[in-house]
Structure 1
Amino acid sequence: MSESFDYVVVGGGTSGLVVAARLTEDANVRVVVIEAGADKRTDPALETPGLVAGAYADDRFIWPFQSTPQAELNGRHLRQDTGKVLGGSSLTNFMMAMFPSRTNLDTWGKMGNKGWSFDDLAPYFRKFSTSHPPSQAIRETLGGLGYYREDLAGDGPVQLSFDDQYSVMNENWFKTFAELGLEMKTDPRTGKAIGAFQNSSTIESGNNTRSSAATAYYTDEIAKRPNLKVLTETTVQKINTETRKGLVVATGVEVKDKDGKVTNITAKNEVVLAAGTIRTPQLLELSGIGDRDLLEGLGIEVLIDNPNVGEHMQDHLMTSQQFPVKKGYPSADGLREPARFQSAFEQYASTKQGPLAGMGTSVAYVPLADRGGVMTQADRKALFDKYLSGGGPALSPVQKREFKLIRELLETEEEPAIQYLCFPGSLTVTPHPDTLTDMFTSHAPYDCIGIMALLNHPFSRGSVHVSSRDVSVPPTWNPNYCTHPLDLEILARTVGFVERIVNTAPYKDMVDPALKRLPDATGDDLETAKEIVRGRTVSCFHIAGTCRMLPRELGGVLDERLVVHGTSNLRVVDASMIPLEPLGNIQTTVYAVAERAADFIKESRKADGISLPIR
């Protein structure tokens, strides 16, 4: 006989643990979380901030998905490493706490999602997190951080803090952007931010360990709840369903444990899919929800014919460059020496201090810019006219509507087109990188600093689809990177803007012109810059949108309460629901959406006559 729960949550990652923790605040509600990975919350490789790069390369912690050949990126197969542990990608990511813009989230509503805007989500950004203010010493190092507002701190379980690994590199970053006319004026959490700023990180204040969904929403106290069960190293193979009154009803899931035993788990109320942007559409398709032709070709019974499942994938691409630093300037490359790394490791293990206690990066949000600086309104209009007014690829009516909204965002100087990051070490010495791991594990024979540029609002759209009826066979992931020429054009211009950064004091004072930079070509020529992008661009692991929240006729899979179209009780709560990629690192948005989804579920339960408190 199968075990029965009120709610079955598929995926114990960033969003799944949020939903489970909130629902089980009511002792009368039974929830099971099913996670394919193991519980690695206390593994030093994951909880130590300075070891983050290694987690991306360790198959104990991640799903190592590989793309099809990407024609516009020199035919490279790019990796997409998503978290396969309790806590999901919140336990393997770069820990950056970045927040979306007001106009960005308001666009979700304009796309056709009633009740979704910046103001609708703002309370949930404060609900999931508690921000700890920067110390006076950090403020002095980084120019005061006068834009930081303590009234936006929040009171949630995920801890956001500022580490103490900042140096003159970070200080010069802020001074250089001030020289470029891009000094931050407002707290980015207000939804309006242009310029250089210091992001906080998901790091516990005081003991400098990673704060994740696993540490915040599955504490020892929560784990003791008798109404919450968490199954690790257990794979969901399909969603079990029935059809009632013309709707598909999720009745539970079929699972396989690490010993190969297959059982069924029953859901009395709902099944919540929180398996991520790649695994969630795979499970929907394996369960009969997707494109009819694809499913019938694999012998899968079609329950709901919706060709939008697995489509419309978006991602932040990142191009990097590195520059040799003069003697006397700090670089993390020194930690590549075994003796220095061992000393830093021992220092962190005993005191939770030292070089491994933080990341030491700083960021900047910048509108469309190139070697000449921020582009004029006329130049931006000309660029979009060239590629979106008949000069680019043929577009469907849905794409035309969507791209019009993105254009409206990017034509202003108030929406960042690019996120720039300064990194205190080498980046991508490997000639043809396919993953972030290649960026952080290779290095030059001399100390370097690096600059990364992330494309905030891509126009290219990819896909994820099943290739077999066997859940253990990875789905086919084709991100279609840079297939829309605007993405390549905008990224190439970032190469030129990086050239402007490193030739502006005081940043340029750190760069040693006598040593080789990588790539050794500059971004002064646009065609050369495009070749740099084609050869050095990788994914930031911010994939989203494969089960978009939109009306079905507009390319959607989910309604505005995250219920799968054509079902009565199958909900999706992860980054696959995102209709338009938010700027910056997406984990904060996923947390906020998960908190709101938990309230949706509580409201639905209350409407059915069963009280479940909303907090």
Structure 2
Amino acid sequence: MGSAVDVFDYIIVGGGTAGLTVANRLTEDADIKVLVIEAGQDRTNDPLVQIPGLVVGMYGKPEYDWNFSSTPQPGLNNRIINQARGKQLGGSSALNFMMMLYPPRGSLDAWGALGNKGWDYDALSPYLSKFATFHPPPQAAKDAVGLGNHDDAAVGNGPIQVCFSEGYGKPNKAWMEAFAHLGLDMKTDPRTGKGLGAFQQGGSIDPATNTRSHAASAHYTPEIASRSNLTVITETVVQNIIFDASKDEPVAVGVLVRTRAGAEMTLLTDGEIILAAGALMSPQILELSGVGSKSLLQSLGIPVLVDNPSVGENLQDHPITCQSFEVKPDVLSGDVLRDPNVLGALLQQFQDGGKGPLGQSNISVAYVPLANGAGVCSEDAKKSLFASHREHAQTPEAKMLCKLLQEQDEPAVQYFLFPSQAHTVIDNPSSMADYLLPTSPENYLTVMTMLNHPFSRGSVHITSADVDELPRWDPNFNSNPLDLEISGRHVQFVELLLRTAPFADLFKPGGARIPQLKGDTPDHAREVVRQSQVCCFHPCCSLAMKPRETGGVVDSRLRVYGTKGLRVVDASVFPVQIAGNIQSMVYVVAEKAADIIKEDRLSK
């Protein structure tokens, strides 16, 4: 911690995926002094963080995970669902599944179309190639999963390390071949903005050590940490932002924090506050600071500085429906890790130079357009789907999504081939570990159906003026019937996939299923969704970058409307959810934000 007289150019609230990226980029200029405040600990050298295959061991533990539970979800048979959120340096990049997907062009052009100049695909593509280094796939990966369209020139040489594993097996290969038989073989490199079909995503893993590559290991290396102009403090909770309210617009001048020892302190800036606490907690901090819905703040006795009822609204997440199927005895499943002897042997293998499956990410994926139990939908079928749900797509944003989903090359869903069982048919899990620890005795593979462009909108709001009370998180899944309809149709497509060779050959005839219900009719498929859908821990859009009159909280330079000296840089500023896992885009937003902040600094 610096001396009491330190005044920082920038105070970054949250040392997560976005916060550490911005801190690294800003402090490349030795004249810029930056303070990062993180509520969690520095767990960078912790084996649970470092070893990819031990990720589930972090869920629900307060030294790693904020561990959110939702309100009961009427669209999911009133189940309460769980969501892990990173409570440590590196944030959620330190406890995610390391999947590195790149959004299709349509997703990002939608951002620009919602009134955000400089935020369409062409403007963002330089950052898509800047944030990471992709290591060329090893021959073993090419033999197993094709990668024939992999273009080594597609991305640059940024700090996040991404690689392909040597451990793809028979299920990964069968996945690729079955989708090809259904007319969905990937014909391009999906990192270049276009692509439909099955493909192998890379994992954010450093191939030199087979350890997780995340914001703390990449953007807070010992070399970066030693910069005299960068201060990072952990186990320090920001209680609220302090404003000078004497000006026409309130000016953010500092933060009130509670230190590890429990003392309250005020930390000041003569520059800006950058809020990077994530899509569930950046709205919390704004509301605790008097920026939000007047009626909510008044009901909690918080003085209103900026009345903006859009704070904490517009929340979007990727709902994901999980179906597990029992495999034949000769098919390898991650469920073997339930045996402590197997886990011990694999740990020993990893300790012997990072070898073996614990250092790998072997999840295969597929981008698929609107489809159902008969296969990919025709143009006429797409038109009739949206025509029959016209009353559920009346907002300009919903109309834009309907148009996007009718494009020939826009993936409505992303499928995942997950290597073990998933128990999402639970009413109130204590953490995400309850979903993923193998409790059924059989061995399974899981097909997950993730809805890329949800129409439902959720919210996250404080219920107390106490920062230690987690905000109320309501993803509101399937509140728009279009989501249930589209997810259900794709559950029916999973049944088609299960009958398609060679994928069909992996599974035990008449074998066990989780959930037990077969998604073979529209009604059954929708019920499978209600029973087994959870969130894919991709919350975003809760402080959307849009014009204020259309529900925006920040402008296209990420400045909070109605204030000065305050920006937001994290997934909460996404104007609309993207297709695919969002890790890549959180880095992209942070990289672009750092450039915007530098530009604005020069123009002052």
Q: TM-score range by the shorter chain?
A: over 0.9
Q: Unaligned stretches of 5+ in structure 1?
A: 609-615
Mapping of 1:475-486 within 5 angstroms? Answer: 475-486=471-482
Of 19, 37, 42, which aligns to 1:39?
42
Provide the rounded CA distance (Å) in 2 between the counterparts of 1:2 and 1:477.
39
Code of the aligned partner of 1:286? L
Q: How many pairs were matched up?
A: 600
Alignment correspondent of 1:255? 257
Task: Pick the aligned partner of 2:277 from 275, 278, 285.
Answer: 275
Say if 2:53 is the partner of 1:50.
yes
Aligned partners of 1:462 and 1:514: how far apart in 2?
Answer: 38
Tell me the distance in 2 between the aligned counterparts of 1:248 and 1:192.
43
**Aligned-CA RMSD value:** 1.3
Output aligned runs, 1:412-491, within 5 Å.
412-428=407-423, 431-432=426-427, 434=429, 436-491=432-487
Q: What CA deviation, in whole Å up to 9, does each residue of 1:223-247 have, x standing for no partner?
A: 0001100000000000000135522
1:606 aligns with 2:602: yes
- Worse overlay, 595-604 or 428-437: 428-437
Letter aligned with residue 90 of structure 1: S
2:381 aligns with 379
Question: Is the partner of 2:231 in helix, strand or coil?
Answer: strand
Q: Which residue of 1 aligns with 2:67?
A: 64
The residue type paired with residue 197 of structure 1 is F
Amino acid corresponding to residue 167 of structure 1 in structure 2: G
| AA in 2 matched with 1:386 | S
Secondary structure of the corresponding residue to residue 276 of structure 1? coil
Moved more, 440-449 or 132-141: 440-449
| Aligned match for 1:541, one of 530, 537, 540 | 537
Distance 2:285 2:426 in 1: 36
Residue among 260, 264, 267 paired with 1:265: 267
- Residue by residue over 1:414-444, the C-alpha shift from the partner in whole angstroms, topping out at 9 and shown as x without a partner, is 1101000112222227554646423311343
1:111 aligns with one of 110, 114, 117: 114
Partner in structure 2 of residue 234 of structure 1: 236
Query: Which amino acid is 1:362 matched to?
Result: S
Q: Counterparts of 1:184-333 in structure 2 under 5 Å?
A: 184-243=186-245, 245-333=247-335
- 3-state DSSP class of the match of 1:363? strand
Counterpart amino acid of residue 554 in structure 1: T
CA distance in 2, matches of 1:86, 1:374: 42
The answer to whether the aligner puts 1:562 opposite 2:555 as a matched pair is: no
Measure the CA separation in 1 of the matches of 2:25 and 2:568: 16
Residue pair 1:429, 1:444 contacting (<8 A) in 2 also: no
- Equivalent in the alignment of 1:401: 396
Listed one character per residue, the Cα deviations across residues 380-425 of structure 1 (whole Å, up to 9, x for unaligned) are: 11111111x23x3xx7xxx610001101110122110100011222
d(CA) in 2 for partners of 1:414, 1:300: 48
* Partners of 1:433 and 1:439 within 8 A in 2: no
Output the CA distance in 2 between the equivalents of 1:88 and 1:581: 20
Q: Which amino acid aligns with 2:490?
A: T
One-letter amino acid of the structure 2 residue matched with residue 348 of structure 1: F
Residues 430 and 530 (structure 1), Cα distance of their counterparts in 2 relative to 1, 3 Å cut: closer
2:495 is the counterpart of 1:493 = no
Find the aligned partners of 1:150 and 1:359 in 2 and give their Cα distance. 19
- Whether the aligned pair in 1 keeps the contact of 2:83 and 2:432 (CA below 8 Å) is no
Q: Deviations over 1:523-543 (max 9, x none)?
A: 111111111111111111100
Cα displacement (A) at 1:59: 2.4
Per-residue CA distance 1:106-130 (angstroms, 9 max, x = gap): 1111111112101111111111100
In the TM superposition, what whole-angstrom CA distance separates every residue of 1:55-87 from its partner, at most 9, and x where no partner exists? 223222011111111111111111121000000
For 1:262 and 1:2, the matched residues in 2 are separated by 16
Aligned residue number for residue 81 of structure 1: 84
Quote the Cα distance in structure 2 between the aligned partners of 1:337 and 1:490. Answer: 38
Calculate percent identity across the aligned residue pairs. 48
Q: Letter of the aligned partner of 1:550 in structure 2?
A: K
1:17 is aligned to 2:20: yes
Verify: 1:410 aligned to 2:405, yes or no.
yes
Match of 2:546 in 1: 550
Partner of 1:83, secondary structure, is: coil
Q: Match of 2:531, as an amino acid?
A: G
Distance 1:237 1:2 in 2: 21
Unpaired segments ≥5 residues, structure 2: none
- Can you list the C-alpha shifts for 1:291-331, whole angstroms capped at 9, x where unaligned? 11111111111111110000000000111111111122221
Question: Structure 1 counterpart of 2:136, which letter?
Answer: P
Kept in 2: contact 1:548–1:557 (CA 8 A): yes
SS at match of 1:247: coil
Please name the residue that 1:587 is paired with: 583
Aligned partners of 2:26 and 2:520: how far apart in 1? 55
CA contact (8 A) 1:251 1:266 kept: yes
Q: For 1:548-572, what per-residue CA distance to the aligned partner results, in whole angstroms no more than 9, with x for missing partners?
A: 0000001100000000011221000
3-state SS of 1:493 partner: helix
State how far apart, in whole Å, the 2-side matches of 1:81 and 1:356 are.
21
CA distance in 1, matches of 2:551, 2:266: 32
Q: CA contact under 8 A between 2:287 and 2:462: conserved in structure 1?
A: yes
Partner of 1:449, secondary structure, is strand
CA distance in 2, matches of 1:250, 1:424: 47
Counterpart of 1:142 in structure 2: which amino acid? V
The AA in structure 2 aligned to 1:407 is C
Aligned partners of 2:162 and 2:202 also within 8 Å: yes
Partners in 2 of 1:61 and 1:451 — Cα distance? 27
Displacement of 1:207: 1.1
Could you list the per-position Cα deviations for residues 152-204 of structure 1 after superposition, in whole angstroms to 9, with x for gaps in the alignment? 13111000101122101101100001000000011111111100000001000
Decide whether the 8 Å contact of 2:60 with 2:66 is kept in 1: no
Further displaced range: 481-490 or 330-339: 330-339
What code does the residue aligned with 1:77 have? Answer: I
**Whole-Å separation in 2 of the counterparts to 1:70 and 1:431:** 12
1:344-392 residue CA offsets vs partner (Å, 9 max, x unmatched): 01111222111211132100000011111111111111111111x23x3
The AA in structure 1 aligned to 2:480 is: H
Aligned mates of 2:261, 2:371 — CA distance in 1: 54
Provide the rounded CA distance (Å) in 1 between the counterparts of 2:377 and 2:154: 32
Letter paired with 1:588: S
- In 1, the alpha carbon distance for the partners of 2:326 and 2:78 equals 29
SS at match of 1:151: coil
- Partner secondary structure for residue 410 of structure 2: coil
Q: Please state whether the residue corresponding to 2:39 is helix, strand or coil.
A: coil
Runs of 4+ in 1 over 6 A off after TM superposition: none
Give secondary structure in 1 for the equivalent of 2:83.
strand
1:613 equivalent in structure 2? none
Task: After TM superposition, give the deviation of residue 271 of structure 1 in Å.
Answer: 0.2
